């Protein structure tokens, strides 16, 4: 038994030594204290396999694909809203609020009165000639922003055939007209401005601007802005300009100037004393008596014809009175504001009007000077040769 025990101890000792050698050779990586464990535990992870960032699993690519339907949906909703607000509502709402107080606050489409058969004058004044030739007779003039009927451009020397709004047919330079009628469309603007002074300047700015153009008496402009002492007006050449409020008449865009007393008519006439005379002229640069009567009457509320042959029938005829004893003309028969029509001085018995004169005071006429270059105040009495030339006297202001 003792021998057997000794043998078992030897066997156990040998097995224990073998086990320790095996462990030292296979499990120990050096002389350190830590032993690397066997199996998968503790090994470095393969990031390519565990955290794959390929296209299939990329969240960025996946979100981009999902975003497109949302963008299309949002864009469609925006288009629908814009269509509803800007196209559908303006047509539908007026019907809902028709004949109610709310209808007053809904802006209506402007009613335009000029189509493509019209043109507008874009210069201060353009001469209307009897033929398409500068040497032909001047019938009258048309003023800036005045609409005219366009009839034909089959003309010579740069002229076109037009008809004025008061039915005078003649030729004007085509370059003096514009086909953009917005500057004279009443419903496109807020104010109507009539020039009452002899002339007015239109400036580029409300203050310290440069001169754009000069407009003359009876020019009609339309304004959209009103400030202290100035208006912003639209010009036929597409520009906007500023004009001072002094010497102009502000009106509703569809209203005409109110009729005033005769003294205002005479006052307007007297502003042109000593101006250059021009057959058919309407401006201070050159004016005729019939032209002066036309623009002065217009700015004071009465429309009369432009041509001498038509003015002889305007207003009411004045019955001239003569002294019962001497047969001399009673000077009080002709009062300020009356238009006197005279025959040819070389044919005083003619009934065809040769020229006109405007009475500014008892015994005083504004008429063409004897030299024919200007308009002057001329005194006359019952014995004057002028009295013998009187064909008729017309009174346009009562």
Interval 299-349: pLDDT, tens: 999 999 999 999 999 999 999 999 999 999 999 999 999 999 999 999 988
Could you write out the three-class secondary structure of 2-71?
Answer: HHHHHHHHHHHHHHHHHHHHHHHHHHCCCCCCCCCCCCCCCCCCCHHHHCCCCCCCCHHHHHHHHHHHHH
Assigned token pair, 172 = 């004007």
Model pLDDT, residue 32? 46
CB 143 within 8 A of CB 218: yes
What mean pLDDT is predicted for residues 133-156?
97
Cα distance from N-terminal residue to C-terminal residue, the chain:
169
Assigned token pair, 25 = 């050779």
**Residues 263-287 pLDDT 10s:** 999 999 999 999 999 999 999 999 9
> Among 14-23, 246-255, 318-327, which is the least confidently predicted range?
14-23
Contacts of residue 251, Cβ cutoff 8 Å, sequence gap at least 6: 191, 192, 193, 194, 257
For residues 139 and 100, the model is more confident at 139
Q: Is the pLDDT of residue 29 over 50?
A: no
pTM of model > 0.85: no
**Residues 158-194 pLDDT 10s:** 999 999 999 999 999 999 999 999 999 999 999 999 9
CB 235 within 8 A of CB 213: yes
**Residues 42-59 pLDDT 10s:** 555 555 555 555 554 455
Model pLDDT, residue 33? 46
For residues 367 and 61, the model is more confident at 367
Q: Is the pLDDT of residue 7 over 50?
A: yes
Q: Is the pLDDT of residue 241 over 90?
A: yes
For residues 85 and 119, the model is more confident at 119
**Where is 298: in which H helix or E strand?**
helix 289-299
What mean pLDDT is predicted for residues 14-22?
54
> Among 30-34, 121-125, 143-147, which is the least confidently predicted range?
30-34
Model pLDDT, residue 81? 81
Pick from 298, 280, 296, 299: which is nearest to 288 by CA? 280
> Among 21-35, 49-63, 143-157, which is the least confidently predicted range?
21-35
DSSP letter for each residue of 243-260 = EESTTEEEE-TT--PPP-
What mean pLDDT is predicted for residues 114-138?
97
Average pLDDT, the chain: 86
| Residue 103, SS3 per DSSP | helix
- Band (208; pLDDT cuts 50, 70, 90): confident
Model pLDDT, residue 38? 56
User: What percent of the chain is predicted at pLDDT more than 70?
Assistant: 76
Q: Is the pLDDT of residue 30 over 50?
A: no
């Amino acid at each position: 038994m003792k021998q057997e025990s000794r043998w078992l101890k030897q066997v156990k000792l040998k097995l224990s030594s073998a086990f320790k050698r095996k462990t030292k050779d296979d499990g120990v990586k050096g002389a350190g204290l830590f032993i690397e464990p066997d199996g998968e535990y503790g090994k470095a992870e393969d990031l390519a396999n565990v955290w794959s960032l390929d296209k299939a699993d990329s969240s960025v690519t996946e979100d981009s694909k999902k975003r497109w339907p949302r963008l299309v949906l949002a864009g469609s909703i925006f288009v629908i809203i814009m269509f509803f607000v800007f196209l559908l509502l303006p047509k539908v709402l007026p019907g809902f609020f028709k004949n109610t107080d709310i209808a007053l606050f809904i802006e209506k489409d402007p009613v335009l009165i000029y189509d493509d058969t019209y043109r507008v004058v874009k210069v201060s004044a353009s001469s209307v000639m009897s033929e398409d030739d500068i040497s032909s007779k001047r019938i009258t003039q048309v003023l800036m922003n005045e609409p005219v009927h366009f009839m034909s451009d089959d003309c010579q020397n740069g002229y076109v055939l037009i008809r004025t709004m008061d039915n005078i047919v003649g030729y004007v330079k085509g370059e003096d007209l514009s086909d953009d009628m917005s500057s004279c469309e009443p419903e496109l603007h807020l104010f109507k401005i009539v020039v009452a002074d002899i002339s007015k300047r239109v400036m580029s700015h409300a203050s310290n601007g440069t001169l754009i153009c000069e407009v003359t008496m009876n020019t009609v402009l339309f304004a959209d802005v009103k400030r202290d002492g100035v208006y912003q007006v639209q010009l036929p050449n597409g520009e906007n300009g500023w004009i001072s409020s002094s010497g102009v008449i502000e009106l509703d865009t569809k209203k005409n100037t109110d009729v005033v007393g005769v003294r205002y008519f005479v006052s307007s006439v007297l502003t042109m004393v000593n101006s250059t005379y021009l057959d058919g002229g309407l401006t201070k640069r050159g004016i005729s008596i019939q032209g002066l009567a036309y623009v002065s009457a217009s700015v004071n509320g009465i429309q009369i014809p432009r041509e001498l042959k038509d003015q002889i029938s305007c207003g009411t005829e004045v019955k001239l009175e003569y002294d019962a004893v001497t047969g001399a003309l009673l000077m009080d028969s002709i009062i300020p504001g009356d238009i006197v029509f005279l025959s040819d001085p070389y044919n005083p018995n003619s009934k065809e009007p040769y020229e006109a004169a405007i009475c500014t005071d008892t015994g005083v006429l504004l008429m063409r000077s004897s030299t024919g270059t200007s308009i002057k105040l001329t005194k006359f009495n019952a014995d004057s040769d002028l009295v013998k030339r009187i064909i008729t006297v017309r009174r346009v202001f009562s």
